[in-house]
Structure 1
Amino acid sequence: MNFNLKELEKQFHADGYRLGMKAVETGYSNGALFAAVKNLHQMVDDLVDSFSEFAERQNQKPACKKGCHWCCHQPVFALEYELNYLRDFISRNFDAETQKRIVFRAAEKRNNLEPLSGESLLNSKFPCPLLDNGICTAYSARPVACRIYLSSNLQSCLNFYQNPTNKKSIPALPDLPLRLGRMLNEGFRAALKAQGMKVKELRIEEKL
């Protein structure tokens, strides 16, 4: 595959910026912002699908599949508009008892991570509050960070889950979807910031 990565990053950042600007130009309504976040997620999914198809043609099919959840035990950082979108999805699609269970799990993970920082935090392994029997219950509303975490080797993910402090236990994550997906999201964030919106980065459980 021949491409100029720096130019691609600029293009994806610009695409994200245009999408963010389109949302804020409507007047900052939650409806418009959530619709834009949904479009952002679709753009990221299209990127990942295209990359996966190319990798498969090179006999390097991504190892990720439904029910594989080793990456769902580490801290996941997302931008605030994504987490607001996620909360809205949960409130509209889950019954009161399920929402209560998610809130409890989120509080439990916050308590477990509160005393940690630096590498201890990044290497921690506690299940995501949305994980249920190895399945993400809010898969269609998951943040960009989850969507671009694409492994090419299942064993590498398992090794990192079991031995996170081992410097050699590094998940085999292709660089391209990570970088371009981040650029889309950073462009979107830049558009909101340009219009005076403060956009914090938080862990998933901090907003649930």
Structure 2
Amino acid sequence: MLLFYHKFNILNQNIDMTTNPQFEQLEKAFFHDGYQLAMKAIEANMEQEALHQSLKEMYAAIDGLIDSLFVYARQQNQSIHCKRGCSWCCHQPVFALDYELEYLQAFIEKSFDAETISGIAEKAKQKQDKLGHLKGDELMNAKHPCPLLKDKTCMAYDARPIACRIYLSSDVKSCVHFYKHPDDKTTYPALLDMPMRLGRMMNEGFKSALKTNGIETKEFRIEEKLL
């Protein structure tokens, strides 16, 4: 039941995500939707076109959730500071599952000429050289621009992974502070919990369906797959 959150009308109910069982139902619904989308690709023998169509539908569902959050924030005189051109978060490690990164790679190959693709690969190598030997907090706090970042905008915005879509902040100052002072453990980006949890649940459902059918998935940093 894709876009279940519209029927649930969670945004107009001010649901407490930490205690309300209705939010648990939402998480289950998003997991189920992700599972069903993957099953569509599996039933089509995991042909690339079918897999990519399922991913497009999953991304559209998450984008719909994000759009609803922006509307709700305006209604409540609150703000979500994320927008195109704000790229503080595009300098940190971003992890995505291999099927997302294959979709991203296919988008790049269709959208750009050989020179541009070569430039992206070179930037990916530069980031990999800087981050490849890091682990733990040292890796998570490292700052280096995403290979797809150009003039503070994502070159492959429409094909960006779930992790990029669900990273929403209510205070850009907190993002700037984290960029400039990543080792400061007293202050972190003011991220919204709802989109992160629901987006992850949908992707978990997608991954679970693949695993149930014998298809293993792995997680990579974006630059590892763009080399």
Aligned counterpart, 1:184: 202
Aligned counterpart, 1:128: 146
Paired residue type of 1:5: F
Q: Which stretch shows the higher mean deviation, 48-57 or 160-169? A: 48-57
- Alpha-carbon distance in 1 for matches of 2:94, 2:177: 18
Query: Deviation at 1:43?
Result: 0.7
Aligned counterpart, 1:32: 50
Aligned partner of 2:116 among 57, 82, 98: 98
Matched ranges for 1:168-179 at <5 A: 168-179=186-197
- Alpha-carbon distance in 1 for matches of 2:23, 2:185: 27
Paired residue type of 2:150: D
1:42-101 alpha-carbon deviations (Å, 9 max, x no partner):
011011111221122111121011111000000000011000000000000000000000
- Alpha-carbon distance in 1 for matches of 2:140, 2:127: 13
Matched ranges for 1:37-186 at <5 A: 37-186=55-204
Paired residue type of 1:154: V
What is the Cα-based RMSD across aligned positions, in Å? 0.9
Asked whether the equivalents of residues 109 and 126 of structure 1 are also in contact (C-alpha less than 8 Å), the reply is: yes
1:132-180 alpha-carbon deviations (Å, 9 max, x no partner):
1111000000000000001111100000000011012300111001100
Query: Deviation at 1:201?
Result: 0.7
* 1:27 aligned counterpart, secondary structure: coil
Percent identity, aligned pairs only, is 52
- Alpha-carbon distance in 2 for matches of 1:27, 1:69: 38
Aligned counterpart, 1:6: 24
Q: Which stretch shows the higher mean deviation, 4-13 or 142-151? A: 4-13
- Alpha-carbon distance in 2 for matches of 1:69, 1:86: 19
- Provide the TM-score with structure 2 as the length reference: 0.90
Aligned counterpart, 1:201: 219
* 1:197 aligned counterpart, secondary structure: coil
Q: Which stretch shows the higher mean deviation, 1-10 or 75-84? A: 1-10
Asked whether the equivalents of residues 47 and 181 of structure 1 are also in contact (C-alpha less than 8 Å), the reply is: no
- Alpha-carbon distance in 2 for matches of 1:56, 1:150: 15
- Provide the TM-score with structure 1 as the length reference: 0.98
- Alpha-carbon distance in 1 for matches of 2:109, 2:152: 21
The 4+ residue runs of structure 1 with deviation greater than 6 A are none
- Alpha-carbon distance in 1 for matches of 2:74, 2:38: 32
Q: How many residues align?
A: 208
